[in-house]
Structure 1
Amino acid sequence: MTARLAGLLPGELDEQQSEVYRTITAGPRAAGPQAFALVDEGGRLRGPFNAMLLSPPVGLAVQAVGAAVRYESVLTDRVREMAILVVAAHWGSAFEWAAHEAVGRAHGLTEPELHALRSGGLPNLPDPAERTALSATAALTRTGALSDSEYYDTVAAWGERGLFELTALVGYYALLALQLRVFAGEEPADPCDPPQTESGTR
């Protein structure tokens, strides 16, 4: 991954950029299971967060959406992480995959479940609410819409709020995948290949 956008050191940030930086590095993302560092050894923001400094008003709003769908949603931790990995596999985003595979393990995802998601499929889930959420996520990433039956099944399982939050999650991580391609120079991966980190391992 060759970044097109040079990272800014904390001392190079203006007041608005510093607010975005502090919100990301001192917020809920800094706690809990982490699969990747938010900053590099020099303190520069990594991955999609670096580009958010280009437009502090938009960057602040975008990161707030991400924090809300991760930490204030009615979706369970397992469903949230599986849905993120569905989006990561669909877009072939190695960074998103690497950032959330270990988090998913910390929330109980098994190796067979991760293998199915990594290959672009859906795992065999015994919980019907989880199956419904993942089927809706796959439909949203594949077609950008839900049929009437998919809509009402998901609302029955998760409520209208849960479905709204699921669509927000799919859109947010698709946005990050796009920004990673444009600004971080991430090449789309083959969804059948194991996603790679910068060191070449998952």
Structure 2
Amino acid sequence: MPRLPDLNPATMSPEQREICEETLAGPRSSLPAPLKAWLFRPELARRGQSLGAYARYGTSLPAELSELVILVTARHWMSEYEWHAHEREALRAGIAPEIVDAIETDDTPDFTDKKSACVFALSKELYASRGLAEESYRRGIATLGRDGMIDLVAIAGYYSFVAMTLNVFDIGVPEGAVRPFAKLRNTNEGA
């Protein structure tokens, strides 16, 4: 059960309503789930949704690489809502279902292209070691370029912020939706 009440549009402050309108006027067709928490701090909501619009729609990475970083992030944080929202976006962006399934179960997918394999490896290393070894950094620069590396870190950082918000304030998958990470939960429950 969510830890924060839903804000009622009729009782929102003018600033909260303005942020909702700004968000919907951008590339998003709905209010992102973490905004449910951020709106209690309107300036955070304004800046968070602006950074989110960049991380989702404005980076130098194509959608399939961005969504790959987001899936690795959702899996790292075990953020059910983030996974739920981005699994279909990843498939729509062209990531093969078997790659999505492998990430969900924390396996290493078999990638057919160098950039996806690099993005996956960099993202996993970033979360495992809180940085990148020099060799990994150089491989990332050679594969993605400077802008791509900066954007990879921005996407990972932003979606970590999102995942923590969703997890801490218990913003889970919509009622009736399939919860991700079922295989992992079933394994841990049987242990």
Shorter-chain TM range is: 0.7 to 0.9
Pick closer, same or farther for the CA change 1:25–1:133 going to 2, 3 Å: same
Structure 1 counterpart of 2:76 = 90
Is the 8 Å Cα contact of residues 140 and 146 (structure 1) preserved in structure 2? yes
Q: Tell me the CA shift for residue 26 of structure 1.
A: 3.1
The answer to which structure has the higher helix fraction is: 2
RMSD between superposed Cα atoms in Å? 1.7
Q: In structure 2, what is the Cα distance between the partners aligned to 1:67 and 1:155?
A: 24
Where does structure 1 differ by over 3 angstroms across 4 or more consecutive aligned residues?
Answer: none
Where does residue 167 of structure 2 map in the other structure?
181
Offset of residue 55 of structure 1: 1.3
Instruction: Return the alpha-carbon distance in structure 1 between the equivalents of residues 136 and 148 of structure 2.
Output: 13
For residue 63 of structure 1, report the CA deviation from its aligned partner: 1.2
Which TM-score applies when normalising by structure 1? 0.82
Q: 1:185 to 1:78 in 2, by over 3 A?
A: closer
Aligned residue number for residue 28 of structure 2: 29
Identity of aligned residues (%): 31
Quote the residue 1:162 is aligned against.
Answer: 148
Give how far 1:122 is off: 3.0
Counting matched residue pairs gives: 179
**Deviation string, structure 1 residues 123-169 (Cα, Å, up to 9, x no partner):** 21111122111111111122210000111110111111111111111
Letter of the aligned partner of 1:199 in structure 2?
G
Distance 1:120 1:24 in 2: 33
In the aligned structure 1, how far is the partner of 2:27 from the partner of 2:88? 17
Gapped runs of 5+ residues in structure 2? 180-191
8 Å CA contact retained: 1:94, 1:197: no
Q: Specify the SS of the correspondent of 1:29.
A: coil
Query: How do residues 49-64 of structure 1 correspond to structure 2 at under 5 angstroms?
Result: 49-64=35-50
Determine the structure 1 residue equivalent to 2:101: 115
- Residue 71 of structure 1, aligned match among 44, 57, 61: 57
How far off is 1:185 after superposition? 5.4
CA distance in 1, matches of 2:80, 2:174: 6
Letter paired with 2:14 = E
Choose from 175, 178, 188 the match for 1:198.
175
TM-score, with normalisation over the residues of structure 2? 0.87
